[in-house]
Structure 1
Amino acid sequence: MQINADAAAEARRLVFAGFPASCWAFALRVWLAMLLALYVSFWLELESPSSSALTVAILALPTRGQGMEKAGYRLLATGIGVAASIAIASMFSQTDGLLLAVLGIWVGLCVYVVGMLDGNRAYAASLCCTTVALIAIQQIDNPLRVFPTGIARGAAIGIGVLAVALVNEVLAAPDYHPVLASRLEALRRRVLDFAQGADRGEASYVPIAAGLLHDIAALRPEIASLATESSNGSARTAAARSVLVDLVSALSLARMLAALSVASVAARDDPHHGRSALMTICRTYLRSDIDRKNADVRRSLNALHDGRYPSHAWRAPLYRSRRIAAESGARAAIYFALGAGFFMLAGWPATELCLSLVAVITGLGSTSPEPRSFTMTAMMATPIACVLAGVLKYLVFNAYPSSNCWRSVLRPSSSALRC
């Protein structure tokens, strides 16, 4: 373990053109995976090879565990989205208004599930909405194309996932548990510093405790990625989760110690010495309990480094408000229904494309902490993307004699000779 840590530190010290060697290795892995995915997609003559390259870009994460966990959820969500698209198109393709209502309900249901989950699980729920948007809604006027489009998209995403997994395995992508362990260690030191400051009676402990709790809870979805990292990933996940729970417990004890320290200042002027003595006893007990929790955190960190189960495995339940999630889902369904009604009344020539864009923005925005800001950013980025796409199509691609030359290079034939 020490040898691997020294090697990782040595790799970080190597700098080329202002970037460390680990960044260049990461860029090389992404480039090779994208080339491999595009080559296989063109060789298999898939309908949308760009989906495989886009999958590689989405799964471009610097460590193996993070990429594999997101890849698994992307495959699962794509399968669910394709199945839902086929089911919706087969049952409601001839119902007009009812079809739009069912699509709106599906969008709202996906947003509701996003509100009840976190991390890559929430991403998978939003991807179910995006998949239906790109398959069922874009083919709303041609339901017979839903099945082949869904199969082609699923195949392209599968090729992208396999390309990322193969390149990461061959080029030995780094593990994530050393990075996570260092972040947990830094949080442990911050909690101890907060406890020492609370014992001294320092003021403004409430915002510091809130910031610490936010930083600790933010690591919960990242811990789940350790399970797909290696054969002992489940043990490392249990150890990291135990560290997380013990840190929250130590922070709670430190907050109680801070409150007692403030109360002890007022108790010094109390004529009854019993209250001051009780405060002293409570503070001594809290100090010893914080030290005990710190020892538990150290043991769990050692288990995380060694890849073994901790002595005490804790659960880290996730709290979500069903009411807030239901309100978000209802708003998403209403947004989609309003957009569908507007485009139908206006007779928009590209209604299916615009509706799919509404569903995609709604689904992806539900995973953002600020959906309104995400929507505004998407609205500003869309015309810029249209301009860049026009430049690429009419000024770059038209410079070649045939748009099929790239396919012909990958698939030699007589057309390749003409190119």
Structure 2
Amino acid sequence: MNRTLLSRIFGGAIFAGSFDPRWALFSANSFIAAMLAIYLAFRLGLQRPYWAMLTVYLTAQPFAGAVRSRAVYRLLGTLLGSSAAVAFVPLLVNQPFLMTAAITSWAAFCLYVSLQDRTPSSYAFLLAGYTATTVAFSSVAAPHLVFDVALARVEEIVLGICCATAVHTLLFPSDVTGALIRSIDAAVHATCAWTTEAFLNHSPTKANAARWRLASDVTQFEVLSTHLRYDTGAAKPPIRAIRALQDKLALVLPTLTAIEDRLDALGERRTPELDQLLSKLGEWVRTPPLSQHSADDLMRLCAEFKVAPSATQSEWDTLLVSSLIAKSSAMIETLAAILELNAVIHGSTVVPQLVLVTASASKVHRAKRTLHRDQRLAALSVAAFFAAVLGCAAVWIATAWPEGGIAAQIAAIAAALYSSLDDPAPTLMSYTVWTMASLPIAAIYLFVIFPAIDGFPMLAASLAPPFLIIGYLQANPRHIVKALALGLGLIGALDLQNRFLADFVSFANVDAASLIGLMVAFLAVRVFRSVTAKHAAKRLIRHGWVDLANLARARRPMNRERWAAVMLDRLGLVAPRLALSGSDVETEAGRSLAALQMGLDLLDLKSSVTNANDQRSERLECLLTKLAQAFRWFAAGNNELRPVERQALRATIDSELRECCKSGAAIQLTRLVSLVGLRRALFPDAPAPSSDGVV
């Protein structure tokens, strides 16, 4: 009976048919760190010992390196937020509305900045925001003690992060390095498998769902690599090599998709010589060490391949073959760099080609990768934050509500904590429900269990059952919200102090204020910030088309790696949202991938003009203008161009193709391949150009 009840309550997280020892170890470590923190806080006579215990559970992460990095960011955020509160409160203490507005504005600014950085380092600014509201609103009754409150906050946070870091680092730590290397190996293996299948079968592969995962995995490598410098592993892979590998992996999907498109367009009209070359490429990709050819040999074979029309091929087919060979050569070069970079990540030092590959782009690999940012959603999150905090504060000030400051503090934390989600409202409601569920447990401890025990050992023993369960839940990503709500709600309601004092009136008032703060945050988020998965996916797709239109009109070409990084990041974001909304993932995500491909083709087209020291012709300017107009049309939510515009754009591309075919220069080949790619991406079902269009 008990097992069935717990399974229903916790969704099978505890009794799911299998026991995960890693989650149990994580839970035990968190509990040991929490008890160590609360014990030291008692011994040191700190004002709010429960802050240290809260910090332990907020800092706990599955990997030791992640715990240490989160500890650093939490410390920085706490120092920054406490300093802001100390600066604002004494200046504005006689103007409560102005002080509230100033503190809320600071916190909103920090929230906005944190939402522009999707790496773990954003946690520092998130903390800087709601730490300021916590310290400031806790000091309103005694503003002359704001420095003492800020100092106490810093002391207890430092104690909590030190205990969490020490325990998770010393007791059976899980290192980030191993998890990152395993993820990279899986991505490299999948990439080679897809490419092998395309080259050897001469047809598109069917692993689209796995490809969308690769798009998100490349971004996940960025997140995990952020923790590397704090990791416990003895041998850490160089971050520069990981960044370079990400850049190369970002090129895999568009290049492989272009290869498959050309193969699909050619169908059975391939020559035996072409099939033989593709087979050689496939054999090398399948087993590079056992292949008779090196990557350089294969790239040379591609460069020397003679593209001549056969009896079964049209002149358009020869252009498709030229594009296929160029993309295949680029794919081999990319895969060779990926394999060498992966060897470096595994500890190899003998990679002469890698030095040549990465030397010219060293500046790129030192910097952070460019990830998607949505300023409008960040602004809406700030609006919801303002509404929640100022709403609670207005009632607090107008009614002199004793616990109003607590409601405002909780509203600030709740409105900020899950603001990076598309729709934080359901998560906030779940958090509120599970916080309410923690209150009866806290009441039992405060008014039944604690009066019957004495001493710290009995306190720790009595707290073990619920917190070991909560820690086990926290280790499971599916249940982390309910675990945090239960844990933080229970810790806050218990308000552990050196001397036990149970006051039911205070308990009820404080917890009622906390729940009101949560509900106000929920309502503000529901009004200002809720976005469905379908709407979020549409926004991501629209951002891609807008950027593509800007790229077409830009005078200075963008860096290829930067373009591929941000577009692939969007692709990794849009695919799961399309799946959640019930949309056609293959079609919509495929359009995003097509936008990524066209961006790379545009960059190649522009670079071919720059490298040839040519001035843009009127014809090319006309093409770029029409492309920009087409991309803006797609950004407006249209899936197809109007017939007149469609015909005009295709004719302009065909005209540019005709001019490129008149020159045999290598730089013209680059331009030709780019134009073929644009035509195939925009008009995949269009008939081949007329014979006078490509001669």
TM-score (norm 2): 0.51
Once the two structures are superposed, the pairs formed by residues 360-399 of structure 1 within 5 Å of their partners are 360-399=413-452
Q: Distance in 2 between matches of 1:318 and 1:357?
A: 30
Give the number of the structure whose alpha-carbon radius of gyration is greater. Answer: 2
- The one-letter amino acid paired with 2:57 is A
**Counterpart among 406, 412, 437 of residue 359 in structure 1:** 412
The offset of 1:183, in angstroms, is 0.7
2:279 counterpart of 1:277: no
Q: Are residues 170 and 117 of structure 1, via their aligned partners in 2, closer, same or farther at CA, if it must alter by over 3 Å?
A: same
> CA shift at 1:184, angstroms?
1.2
How far is 1:341 from its partner? 2.8
Aligned residue in 1 for 2:394: 341
Shift of 1:327: 3.5
Matched, 1:88 2:141: no
Change (3 A) 1:370 1:198: farther
**CA separation of 1:267 and 1:331: change in aligned 2, threshold 3 A:** farther
Paired residues for 1:95-174 under 5 Å: 95-171=95-171, 173-174=173-174
Paired residues of 1:205 and 1:258 also in contact (CA < 8 A) = no
Shift in Å, 1:356: 0.8
Determine the structure 2 residue equivalent to 1:7.
Answer: none
Mean CA deviation greater in 348-357 or 66-75 = 348-357
> Could you list the per-position Cα deviations for residues 304-326 of structure 1 after superposition, in whole angstroms to 9, with x for gaps in the alignment?
22287974253522342334423
Contact 1:59 / 1:70 at 8 angstroms: preserved in 2? yes
Q: Is the 8 A contact 1:195 1:257 kept in 2?
A: no
Aligned pair 1:291/2:293, yes or no?
no
Tell me if the contact between 1:46 and 1:152 (Cα under 8 Å) persists in the aligned partners: yes
Relative distance call for 1:231 and 1:63 in structure 2 (3 A) is: closer
**Matching residue's letter, 1:306:** G
Contact 2:104 2:133 in 1 (8 A): no
CA contact (8 A) 1:100 1:337 kept: yes
Instruction: Report if aligned partners of 1:127, 1:363 keep a CA contact under 8 Å in 2.
Output: no
Q: 2:375 aligns with which of 322, 338, 343?
A: 322
Query: Are the counterparts in 2 of residues 82 and 132 from structure 1 also a CA contact under 8 Å?
Result: yes
CA distance in 1, matches of 2:208, 2:174: 38
Structure 2 equivalent of residue 215 of structure 1: 217
Q: Aligned-pair RMSD on alpha carbons?
A: 3.4
1:55 aligns with 2:24: no
User: Counterparts of 2:101 and 2:188 in 1: how far apart (Å)?
Assistant: 50
Residue 266 of structure 2 is matched in structure 1 by 264
Name the SS for the 2:105 alignment partner: helix
Cα separation, 2, equivalents of 1:236 and 1:44: 41
Deviation at 1:354, TM superposition (A): 0.7
Letter in structure 1 aligned against 2:231: E
Which letter maps to 2:418? G
Compared CA separation, residues 307 and 141, structure 1 to 2 (3 A): farther
Identity in percent: 21
Q: Report the CA distance between 1:25 and its aligned residue.
A: 4.5
Superposed CA deviations along residues 291-348 of structure 1, whole A, max 9, x for unmatched, are 3222222222222222879742535223423344234323322332233334445654
Take 2:229 and 2:348, find their aligned partners in 1: how far apart are those partners? 11
Question: 2:384 is matched with which residue: 318, 331, 342?
Answer: 331
| CA distance 1:238–1:19, shift in 2 (3 Å) | farther
The answer (yes or no) to whether the contact 1:116–1:322 under 8 Å persists in 2 is yes
CA distance in 1, matches of 2:79, 2:235: 25
Matched, 1:224 2:255: no
**Which gives a bigger RCO, structure 1 or 2 (Cα 8 Å, sep 6+)?**
1
Contact 1:247 1:297 in 2 (8 A): yes
Describe the shift of the 1:230–1:144 C-alpha distance in structure 2 as closer, same or farther (beyond 3 A): same
Is residue 104–residue 336 contact of structure 1 (8 Å, CA) maintained in 2?
Answer: yes
Give, in angstroms, the shift of residue 47 of structure 1.
Answer: 1.2
Residue 343 (structure 2) pairs with residue 302 (structure 1) = yes
Indicate the residue corresponding to 1:9 in structure 2: none
Partner Cα distance (1:91, 1:233) in 2:
50
Distance in 1, matches of 2:46 and 2:387, equals: 35
Q: Secondary structure at the match of 2:227?
A: helix
Provide the rounded CA distance (Å) in 1 between the counterparts of 2:123 and 2:129. 10
1:379 maps to amino acid: T
TM-score normalised per structure 1: 0.81
Matches of 1:276 and 1:18, distance apart in 2? 57
Q: Distance in 1 between matches of 2:57 and 2:348?
A: 30
Q: Give the match's secondary structure for 2:218.
A: helix
Q: Structure 1 unaligned runs (5+)?
A: 1-16, 408-414
Report the Cα distance in structure 2 between the residues aligned to 1:52 and 1:343, rounded to whole angstroms. Answer: 27
SS at match of 1:140: coil
Are residue 238 (structure 1) and residue 240 (structure 2) matched?
yes
Shift of 1:159: 1.7
**Cα separation, 1, equivalents of 2:419 and 2:262:** 41
Contact 2:453 2:459 survives alignment (8 Å): no
> Structure 2: how far apart are the matches of 1:88 and 1:150?
12
Q: Distance in 1 between matches of 2:400 and 2:431?
A: 24
Q: Deviations 1:123-166 (Å, cap 9, x if unpaired)? A: 22221223123221233333233221221121112122222333
Give per-residue Cα distances to partners, 1:44-94, cap 9 Å, x unaligned. 111122222222222222332211111110110110111111112111111
CA distance in 2, matches of 1:338, 1:249: 48
Q: Which moved more, 1:75-84 or 1:24-33?
A: 24-33
Q: Is the 8 A contact 1:64 1:175 kept in 2?
A: yes
CA 1:319/1:151 → structure 2, altered by over 3 Å: closer, same or farther?
same
Q: In structure 2, what is the Cα distance between the partners aligned to 1:94 and 1:327?
A: 31
Partners of 1:125 and 1:343 in 2: CA distance: 26
CA distance in 2, matches of 1:105, 1:266: 64
The 8 Å contact of residues 176 and 224 in structure 2, kept in 1 or not, is answered as no
Residues 396 and 256 of structure 1: is their aligned pair in 2 closer, same or farther, counting only changes over 3 Å?
same
Q: Distance in 2 between matches of 1:194 and 1:333?
A: 48
Q: Is the 8 A contact 2:389 2:409 kept in 1?
A: no
CA distance in 2, matches of 1:114, 1:233: 31
